[in-house]
């Protein structure tokens, strides 16, 4: 009975952390692994840690944008297909977005692209 109670407490703690940690990372530079999609009217990143997707912040440097576009162009079978990438960025759920970006959970400003998921060793969230 005592072990069951401890196990239950641990499970509840893990569930709570799953909800709290993604919000805690907001506004901080964090390393993410997830799906990047670039197409005619799409420029998004969906981290693997949750079901939310973010529009690439216009403040992301042109060099970073070109790196992401290149990964998409050379590794996606068609323009609407996403590629798994590892990057470092800052999620912004507060800034009001216009246009296509308004349909997403927020913006992500990327400051570093590590590469494709399959080519980056020991990726941590």
Domain boundaries, the chain: 28-119
pLDDT reading at 53 higher than 70: yes
Give CA 7 to chain center in angstroms. Answer: 31
Cα Rg, the chain, nearest whole Å: 17
User: Which stretches of the chain are DSSP H helices?
Assistant: 2-25, 62-75
In the prediction, which pLDDT does 120 show?
Answer: 82
pLDDT reading at 17 higher than 60: no
In the prediction, which pLDDT does 20 show?
Answer: 47
pLDDT reading at 57 higher than 50: yes
Cα distance between residue 72 and residue 79, in whole Å: 8
- pTM of this structure: 0.74
Cα distance between residue 93 and residue 25, in whole Å: 11
Give the position of tokens 């703690």.
13
Task: Judge: domain 28-119, CATH 2.40.50.
Answer: yes
Mean pLDDT of 95-101: 89
Confidence of residue 125 (pLDDT cuts 50, 70, 90): very low
Q: Record the tokens describing residue 19, joined without a space.
A: 């909800």
H or E segment to which residue 103 belongs = none
Cα distance between residue 104 and residue 50, in whole Å: 13
Cα distance between residue 115 and residue 53, in whole Å: 19
């Amino acid at each position: 009975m005592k072990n069951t109670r401890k196990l239950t407490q641990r499970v509840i703690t893990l569930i709570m952390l799953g909800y709290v940690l993604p919000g805690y990372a907001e506004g901080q530079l964090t390393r993410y692994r997830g799906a990047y999609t670039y197409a005619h009217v799409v420029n998004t990143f969906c981290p693997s840690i949750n079901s939310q997707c973010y529009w690439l912040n216009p403040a992301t440097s042109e060099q970073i944008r070109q790196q992401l576009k290149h990964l998409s162009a050379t590794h996606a079978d068609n323009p609407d297909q996403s590629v798994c990438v590892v990057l470092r960025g800052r999620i912004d759920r507060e800034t009001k977005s216009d246009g296509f970006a308004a349909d997403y959970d927020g913006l992500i400003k990327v400051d570093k692209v590590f590469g494709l998921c399959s080519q980056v060793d020991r990726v941590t969230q």
